[in-house]
Amino acid sequence: MIVTKMATIVSHELKNSLSTIMGLIRSGGVEEKKLNHEIKRMLEFLDRISLFTRPIKVKNELICLNYLILDVLQDFRTATETVLEFNSSDELRITTDPVILEHILKNIIKNSIDALDGRGKIQIDLEKKPEKVSISIADDGPGIPPEDLKKIFQPFYTTKPDGTGLGLAIVKRFSEAIGAEVSVSSKPGRGTRFILELPNV
């Protein structure tokens, strides 16, 4: 069932992007910005399909969570007007896969930035608990209706016109791979909060 649905969505997305590109070329007045946008969107979609379907190989190492989060935020700060704030009382080190964790954080933060339409504020808090480390990512956006909230991690479920429905499905799959737990809470008009809890080892 999921394979059939994936094939249908991949075919649909690629046909749409290629049709747009062909239309721009045939019009004679190719707008480089629009062309680059469509090509980038198609490549990002294929990249997400690859991330979601390929086997996950976990390579753990001792890392400083603070530095990893700051690096992720720096990548976004150059590309958005959304205010990104980070708070942590301690420098925390854990053993995990930094590449997988980076993918998880980037997908959650990108989802929040999209919800804010490039504006607003995202607050990231890092907290040490007895047996876990908690990363909270909260935005002050429009929030998520209850009927959508319960489906948010399902593959291919999206409320965005150009969404793939894979970003948060990847978050869920990658979190499970590194022994982490991800949850979300939201109230319409009052923002959304994702909490990622990692083993404190």
Q: What is the CATH number of the domain that holds 120?
A: 3.30.565.10
Backbone angles phi, psi at 95, to 5 degrees: -100, 115
Query: Is 144 found in the same domain as 68?
Result: yes
- Residues 181-185 have a mean pLDDT of 96
CB atoms within 10 A of CB 119: 12
Pair (86, 123) in one structural domain: yes
Cβ contacts of residue 102 below 8 Å, gap of 6+? 68, 71, 72
Q: Are residues 28 and 117 in the same domain?
A: no
Final residue of a structural domain among 53, 77, 95: 53
- Judge whether residue 196 has pLDDT over 60: yes
Which band of pLDDT confidence, cut at 50, 70 and 90, is reported for residue 108? very high
Q: Which domain holds residue 122?
A: 61-199
Are residues 118 and 168 both part of a single domain?
A: yes
Alpha-carbon span 85 to 35, nearest angstrom: 34
pLDDT band at 28 (very low <50, low <70, confident <90, very high): low
Mean pLDDT of 95-101: 92
Query: Comparing 5-14, 45-54, 156-165, 166-175, which segment has the lowest mean pLDDT?
Result: 5-14
Residues 39 and 112 occupy one common structural domain: no
Lowest mean pLDDT across 30-39, 89-98, 146-155, 165-174: 30-39
Q: Quick one: 41 and 71 in the same domain? A: no
Same domain, 65 and 144: yes
86 has pLDDT over 90? yes
Structure tokens of 39? 């090509």
Q: Has residue 52 got a pLDDT over 80? A: no
The lowest-confidence range among 112-126, 132-146, 157-171 is: 157-171
pLDDT at 37: 63
Flag whether pLDDT at 162 surpasses 90: no
Which of 11, 29, 53 is the last residue in one of the domains? 53
Task: Kindly indicate the confidence band of residue 64, based on its pLDDT and cuts at 50, 70 and 90.
Answer: very high
Q: Over 90: is that where the pLDDT of 95 sits?
A: yes
Same domain, 65 and 10: no
pLDDT for position 103: 87
Burial degree of 89 (CB within 10 A; 0-12, 13-18, 19+): exposed
Pairing of strands 61-64, 93-96: antiparallel
Q: Are residues 124 and 163 in the same domain?
A: yes
User: Distance between CA atoms of 53 and 6, rounded to whole angstroms?
Assistant: 10
Spatial CB neighbours of 85, under 8 Å, sequence gap ≥ 6 = 121, 122, 123, 124
pLDDT given at position 5:
54
Decide which of 11, 34, 53 is a domain's last residue. Answer: 53
In this structure, the answer to whether residues 188 and 150 fall within a common structural domain is yes
* Domain count within the chain: 2
Residues 104 and 187 in one domain: yes
